[in-house]
Structure 1
């Protein structure tokens, strides 16, 4: 059993990952309630996932005290940026190798130092509580060399489509969490619209342009420049499983492509 941080094994720093560790199956839950005087209980406005925390136990065995300090300092420096501030790294577990969490050092590293050994817990926090797929959707095909352990539908990598008339196509969200659809539209069309799951996003009429729609960031770039003035509607969401995308308009000569990063509870 082991972990990797940004693809690196802690053994590269002389550290031993101890098997008993804290890895919660879910993140913390943030409940949204309102207490109304005179009303029993509370008004429930639902709940949201909060941050996810990890405490990873490590040990180091080194008879040379100076060398021990050097190894620990190198490991801590690896977790920091050039200004000495905690940076985001990808945390993966060997029992879930196709997913990662974006984590940062969350608190002081406390330790127990013995004559020739040291043991400590590494406190990490994922401000985005979801696990994410290490491989994007456009790389997942039957012919690829990708090692995937998750239960997925293959050939989701067919992500570049030529659209010359109104049509529908299917996109598979292999994660367990809904995604806001991010995609690229290139070409020309009149009154171009994309719809799915009750939401419609309108690109309008354009000629020889490239639209980069980033659902996660709620942004649109037109020919590489951020511009929200020429589009309208709701950013499309992809629910877990198969999603039907409808493209409407006239005089269509489009190429539509996407590269999805699946999310998991």
Structure 2
């Protein structure tokens, strides 16, 4: 059993990962309630996921105290940026190799020192509480050398679709939570619209342009320049499983592609 941080094994720093570690099945929960004096209970306005925390236990055995300190300092420096501040690293568990968490050091590392050994826990926090797929959707192919441990539907759809008439196509969200749809539209068309799951996004009429729609950041780039004035509508979401995307318009000569990073609880 082990972990990797930014693809590096802690053993590179002389550390031993201890098997008894804290890896919560869910993030922390943030409940939105309102308590009214004189009324039993509370109004429930729903709940949201909060941050996800980890405590990773390590030990180091080194008979040379100076060398021990050097190894530990090198490991701590690895978790920091050039200014000595905690930086975001990818945390991967060997029993969940096809997913990662974006984490950073959450608080002080306090060691227990012994004669020739030291033991300590590394507290990490993922402010984005979801696990993410290590492989983007356009890289999920039979020949991939990346281990895939999730239930993946291989029919994820073509990574590049040529659209010359109004049509529909399917996109599979292999994650367990809804995913903002980020995609690229390149070409020409009149009154072009994309619709799915009750939402429609309008690109309008254009010729020989490239639209980069980023559903995560709610941004649109037109020929590489941020521009929200030429498009309108609701950003599309992809629910877990198969999603049907409708493309409408006339004089269509488009290529539509996407590279999705699935998210998991």
Quickly name the TM-score band, shorter chain normalised.
over 0.9
Q: Deviations over 1:161-203 (max 9, x none)?
A: 0000000000000000100100000000011000000000000
Q: Is the 8 A contact 2:157 2:170 kept in 1?
A: no
Q: Deviations over 1:112-170 (max 9, x none)?
A: 01111000000000000000000000000223333211111014262100000000000
* Distance across 1 between alignment mates of 2:39 and 2:94: 50
Matched, 1:83 2:83: yes
Output the aligned Cα RMSD.
0.8
Matches within 5 A, 1:215-230: 215-230=215-230
Matched, 1:184 2:181: no
Q: Is the 8 A contact 1:140 1:155 kept in 2?
A: no
Partner of 1:249: 249
Matched, 1:38 2:35: no
SS at structure 2 position matched to 1:205: strand
SS at structure 2 position matched to 1:101: strand
- Distance of aligned partners of 1:157 and 1:244 in 2 relative to their CA distance in 1, 3 Å threshold: closer
Partner of 1:16: 16
Matches within 5 A, 1:51-66: 51-66=51-66
Q: Deviations over 1:37-85 (max 9, x none)?
A: 3322111110000000000000000000000000000000000001100
* Distance across 1 between alignment mates of 2:27 and 2:86: 21
* Distance across 1 between alignment mates of 2:126 and 2:260: 20
* Distance across 1 between alignment mates of 2:35 and 2:187: 54
* Distance across 1 between alignment mates of 2:24 and 2:259: 29
Moved more, 36-45 or 21-30: 36-45
Partner of 1:92: 92
* Distance across 1 between alignment mates of 2:252 and 2:82: 48
Matched, 1:166 2:166: yes
* Distance across 2 between alignment mates of 1:49 and 1:87: 22
* Distance across 2 between alignment mates of 1:64 and 1:146: 39
Partner of 1:71: 71
* Distance across 2 between alignment mates of 1:40 and 1:219: 44
Scaled by the length of structure 2, the TM-score of the pair is 0.98
Partner of 1:259: 259
Q: Is the 8 A contact 2:98 2:146 kept in 1?
A: no
SS at structure 2 position matched to 1:12: helix
Moved more, 175-184 or 28-37: 28-37
Q: Is the 8 A contact 2:60 2:118 kept in 1?
A: yes
SS at structure 1 position matched to 2:138: helix
